[in-house]
Amino acid sequence: MKLKLLVCTALTAFIPTALAQDTVAPIDLGVLKDSEISVVQRQLYTMEDKNEIGVHAGLMPFDAYTKTPLLFGTYTMHKSESFAYEAFFAGGYGLKSKTYKELEGATYGVAAEAYRFLTKVGGGIEYSPAYAKLNWLGETIYHHNLYTTAGVVAAIEQSVLPAADIAFSPGISLGVGLRVWRQNGGAVRIELRDDVMLQHRAQSDTNHIKQNVTIAVGLSSFSGGK
Protein backbone atom coordinates (compact mmCIF):
# COMPACT_ATOMS: atom_id res chain seq x y z
CA MET A 1 0.00 0.00 0.00
CA LYS A 2 2.82 2.37 0.91
CA LEU A 3 4.58 1.49 -2.38
CA LYS A 4 1.49 2.33 -4.43
CA LEU A 5 1.14 5.67 -2.66
CA LEU A 6 4.76 6.50 -3.34
CA VAL A 7 4.44 5.69 -7.08
CA CYS A 8 1.29 7.82 -7.45
CA THR A 9 2.94 10.78 -5.72
CA ALA A 10 5.96 10.56 -8.05
CA LEU A 11 3.80 10.44 -11.17
CA THR A 12 1.73 13.41 -9.96
CA ALA A 13 4.90 15.52 -9.59
CA PHE A 14 6.39 14.39 -12.93
CA ILE A 15 3.44 14.89 -15.31
CA PRO A 16 2.96 18.73 -14.88
CA THR A 17 6.71 19.21 -15.24
CA ALA A 18 6.77 17.24 -18.49
CA LEU A 19 3.80 19.15 -19.87
CA ALA A 20 5.46 22.47 -19.06
CA GLN A 21 8.64 21.41 -20.87
CA ASP A 22 6.64 20.39 -23.94
CA THR A 23 4.91 23.79 -24.00
CA VAL A 24 8.09 25.90 -24.12
CA ALA A 25 10.16 23.58 -26.31
CA PRO A 26 11.09 25.06 -29.74
CA ILE A 27 9.34 23.69 -32.81
CA ASP A 28 11.63 22.67 -35.67
CA LEU A 29 10.02 23.62 -39.00
CA GLY A 30 12.88 22.26 -41.05
CA VAL A 31 14.49 24.03 -44.05
CA LEU A 32 12.41 26.59 -45.97
CA LYS A 33 12.14 26.10 -49.73
CA ASP A 34 13.02 28.91 -52.14
CA SER A 35 9.37 29.20 -53.10
CA GLU A 36 8.42 29.74 -49.44
CA ILE A 37 11.05 32.46 -49.03
CA SER A 38 9.77 34.35 -52.10
CA VAL A 39 6.34 34.55 -50.48
CA VAL A 40 7.84 36.04 -47.32
CA GLN A 41 9.73 38.61 -49.44
CA ARG A 42 6.75 39.63 -51.62
CA GLN A 43 7.35 42.87 -53.54
CA LEU A 44 5.13 45.85 -52.83
CA TYR A 45 5.91 47.47 -56.21
CA THR A 46 6.02 45.31 -59.34
CA MET A 47 7.15 45.91 -62.94
CA GLU A 48 6.19 42.75 -64.83
CA ASP A 49 4.14 43.47 -68.01
CA LYS A 50 4.21 47.22 -67.28
CA ASN A 51 5.35 50.13 -69.44
CA GLU A 52 7.54 52.81 -67.86
CA ILE A 53 7.92 56.36 -69.18
CA GLY A 54 10.60 58.60 -67.68
CA VAL A 55 11.87 62.16 -68.01
CA HIS A 56 15.40 62.89 -66.83
CA ALA A 57 17.86 65.77 -66.44
CA GLY A 58 21.55 65.04 -66.72
CA LEU A 59 25.06 66.36 -67.09
CA MET A 60 28.19 65.21 -68.90
CA PRO A 61 30.80 66.55 -66.47
CA PHE A 62 33.92 64.56 -67.37
CA ASP A 63 34.84 65.83 -70.85
CA ALA A 64 37.96 68.01 -70.71
CA TYR A 65 36.78 70.48 -73.39
CA THR A 66 32.97 70.65 -72.99
CA LYS A 67 30.40 70.51 -70.18
CA THR A 68 26.99 69.38 -71.36
CA PRO A 69 23.58 69.75 -69.68
CA LEU A 70 20.91 67.58 -71.31
CA LEU A 71 17.34 66.33 -71.05
CA PHE A 72 16.21 62.89 -72.15
CA GLY A 73 13.25 60.59 -72.13
CA THR A 74 13.02 56.82 -71.73
CA TYR A 75 10.41 54.25 -72.64
CA THR A 76 10.79 50.85 -70.98
CA MET A 77 8.79 47.66 -71.62
CA HIS A 78 9.16 45.36 -68.61
CA LYS A 79 8.76 41.73 -69.64
CA SER A 80 9.41 40.48 -66.09
CA GLU A 81 10.63 41.80 -62.74
CA SER A 82 14.23 41.48 -63.91
CA PHE A 83 14.23 41.92 -67.72
CA ALA A 84 13.09 44.79 -69.95
CA TYR A 85 13.56 46.52 -73.32
CA GLU A 86 14.28 50.26 -73.30
CA ALA A 87 14.48 53.08 -75.87
CA PHE A 88 15.76 56.58 -75.16
CA PHE A 89 16.15 59.98 -76.82
CA ALA A 90 18.17 62.93 -75.54
CA GLY A 91 19.05 66.48 -76.47
CA GLY A 92 21.49 69.00 -75.03
CA TYR A 93 24.25 71.45 -75.84
CA GLY A 94 27.96 71.20 -75.09
CA LEU A 95 29.41 74.37 -73.61
CA LYS A 96 33.13 75.17 -73.78
CA SER A 97 34.86 74.23 -70.54
CA LYS A 98 37.19 76.44 -68.55
CA THR A 99 40.12 74.40 -69.86
CA TYR A 100 39.11 74.93 -73.49
CA LYS A 101 38.63 78.67 -73.00
CA GLU A 102 42.06 78.89 -71.41
CA LEU A 103 43.67 77.02 -74.32
CA GLU A 104 42.10 79.26 -76.98
CA GLY A 105 42.91 82.42 -75.02
CA ALA A 106 45.78 84.84 -75.64
CA THR A 107 48.20 82.89 -73.43
CA TYR A 108 48.20 79.68 -75.51
CA GLY A 109 46.27 80.45 -78.70
CA VAL A 110 45.39 76.78 -79.29
CA ALA A 111 42.02 75.73 -80.72
CA ALA A 112 41.51 72.02 -80.03
CA GLU A 113 39.34 69.97 -82.40
CA ALA A 114 36.60 69.21 -79.87
CA TYR A 115 32.98 68.25 -80.55
CA ARG A 116 29.95 69.31 -78.54
CA PHE A 117 26.98 67.03 -77.93
CA LEU A 118 23.67 67.89 -79.63
CA THR A 119 21.39 64.83 -79.61
CA LYS A 120 21.32 61.05 -79.41
CA VAL A 121 18.93 58.13 -79.80
CA GLY A 122 19.35 54.53 -78.75
CA GLY A 123 17.92 51.39 -77.23
CA GLY A 124 18.83 48.17 -75.52
CA ILE A 125 18.03 45.77 -72.72
CA GLU A 126 17.75 46.29 -68.98
CA TYR A 127 18.48 43.73 -66.28
CA SER A 128 17.44 44.23 -62.64
CA PRO A 129 19.21 41.73 -60.35
CA ALA A 130 17.99 43.01 -56.97
CA TYR A 131 14.90 44.38 -55.24
CA ALA A 132 15.41 45.65 -51.70
CA LYS A 133 14.04 47.80 -48.88
CA LEU A 134 15.88 50.50 -46.93
CA ASN A 135 14.79 51.50 -43.45
CA TRP A 136 15.71 55.20 -43.14
CA LEU A 137 16.23 56.31 -39.52
CA GLY A 138 13.62 53.79 -38.36
CA GLU A 139 10.80 55.96 -39.74
CA THR A 140 10.55 55.49 -43.51
CA ILE A 141 10.99 52.41 -45.69
CA TYR A 142 12.18 52.95 -49.26
CA HIS A 143 11.67 50.22 -51.86
CA HIS A 144 14.33 50.24 -54.57
CA ASN A 145 15.96 48.13 -57.24
CA LEU A 146 19.35 48.11 -58.90
CA TYR A 147 19.50 47.78 -62.69
CA THR A 148 22.05 47.60 -65.49
CA THR A 149 21.63 48.52 -69.17
CA ALA A 150 23.39 47.62 -72.40
CA GLY A 151 22.53 48.64 -75.95
CA VAL A 152 23.38 50.71 -79.00
CA VAL A 153 23.42 54.49 -79.46
CA ALA A 154 23.89 57.03 -82.26
CA ALA A 155 24.80 60.64 -81.45
CA ILE A 156 25.08 63.82 -83.46
CA GLU A 157 27.81 66.23 -82.37
CA GLN A 158 29.17 69.50 -83.71
CA SER A 159 32.70 70.86 -83.81
CA VAL A 160 33.30 73.85 -81.53
CA LEU A 161 35.65 75.27 -84.17
CA PRO A 162 34.28 77.98 -86.50
CA ALA A 163 33.77 75.40 -89.29
CA ALA A 164 31.08 73.76 -87.08
CA ASP A 165 31.39 70.37 -88.79
CA ILE A 166 28.77 67.76 -87.88
CA ALA A 167 29.81 64.26 -86.77
CA PHE A 168 27.49 61.24 -86.71
CA SER A 169 28.81 58.90 -84.02
CA PRO A 170 27.51 55.32 -83.57
CA GLY A 171 28.48 53.16 -80.62
CA ILE A 172 27.41 51.19 -77.58
CA SER A 173 25.72 52.43 -74.41
CA LEU A 174 26.35 50.87 -70.98
CA GLY A 175 24.87 51.97 -67.69
CA VAL A 176 23.93 51.25 -64.10
CA GLY A 177 21.09 52.81 -62.16
CA LEU A 178 18.80 52.78 -59.15
CA ARG A 179 15.00 53.08 -58.91
CA VAL A 180 13.50 54.35 -55.67
CA TRP A 181 9.70 53.94 -55.61
CA ARG A 182 7.38 56.72 -54.55
CA GLN A 183 4.14 56.08 -52.68
CA ASN A 184 2.06 56.77 -55.81
CA GLY A 185 3.75 53.86 -57.61
CA GLY A 186 6.12 55.98 -59.69
CA ALA A 187 9.86 56.01 -59.17
CA VAL A 188 12.86 58.27 -58.89
CA ARG A 189 15.68 57.06 -61.15
CA ILE A 190 19.39 57.78 -60.61
CA GLU A 191 21.62 56.65 -63.45
CA LEU A 192 25.24 56.60 -64.62
CA ARG A 193 25.59 55.91 -68.36
CA ASP A 194 28.65 55.67 -70.61
CA ASP A 195 28.25 56.01 -74.40
CA VAL A 196 31.36 54.72 -76.20
CA MET A 197 31.28 55.85 -79.84
CA LEU A 198 33.37 55.93 -83.01
CA GLN A 199 33.66 59.52 -84.26
CA HIS A 200 35.12 60.81 -87.55
CA ARG A 201 36.50 64.33 -87.31
CA ALA A 202 36.37 66.20 -90.59
CA GLN A 203 39.05 68.86 -90.24
CA SER A 204 41.80 66.44 -89.22
CA ASP A 205 40.26 63.55 -91.23
CA THR A 206 40.82 61.16 -88.31
CA ASN A 207 38.75 58.64 -86.37
CA HIS A 208 38.50 58.77 -82.59
CA ILE A 209 36.88 56.78 -79.78
CA LYS A 210 34.63 59.29 -77.97
CA GLN A 211 33.15 58.65 -74.50
CA ASN A 212 30.16 60.57 -73.20
CA VAL A 213 29.59 59.78 -69.52
CA THR A 214 26.25 61.04 -68.18
CA ILE A 215 24.97 61.38 -64.63
CA ALA A 216 21.18 61.79 -64.57
CA VAL A 217 18.22 61.98 -62.19
CA GLY A 218 14.60 61.68 -63.28
CA LEU A 219 11.02 60.65 -62.57
CA SER A 220 9.14 57.77 -64.15
CA SER A 221 5.61 56.40 -64.09
CA PHE A 222 4.19 52.94 -64.81
CA SER A 223 1.10 51.86 -66.72
CA GLY A 224 -0.55 48.55 -67.56
CA GLY A 225 0.36 45.25 -65.96
CA LYS A 226 -1.17 43.59 -62.93
Contact 150/195 with Cβ under 8 angstroms? no
- Predicted confidence at residue 26, as pLDDT, reads 61
8-15 mean pLDDT? 51
Instruction: Using a pLDDT cut of 90, give the percent of the chain over it.
Output: 61
Determine the average pLDDT of the residues in 3-9: 50
E-strand ranges in the chain read 50-60, 66-78, 83-92, 95-96, 115-136, 140-159, 166-181, 187-201, 206-224
Q: What mean pLDDT, rounded, does the chain reach?
A: 85
Express each pLDDT in 118-154 by its tens digit: 999 999 999 999 888 777 777 777 888 999 999 999 9
Give alpha helix (H) positions in the chain.
2-24, 34-40, 98-104
Q: Please, what are the domains in the chain? A: 31-224 (2.40.160.20)
Share of the chain above pLDDT 70, in %: 81
pLDDT per position as a tens digit, 64-115: 999 999 999 999 999 999 999 999 999 999 999 999 999 988 888 888 899 9
Q: The whole model's pTM is what? A: 0.77
Listed range (12-21, 144-153, 160-169, 188-197) with the worst mean pLDDT = 12-21
Find the angle CA(114)-CA(119)-CA(120) to the nearest 5 degrees.
Answer: 105
Distance, CA of 147 to CA of 81 (rounded, Å): 11
SS3 label, residue 206: strand
Q: How far is CA 19 from the centre of its chain?
A: 55
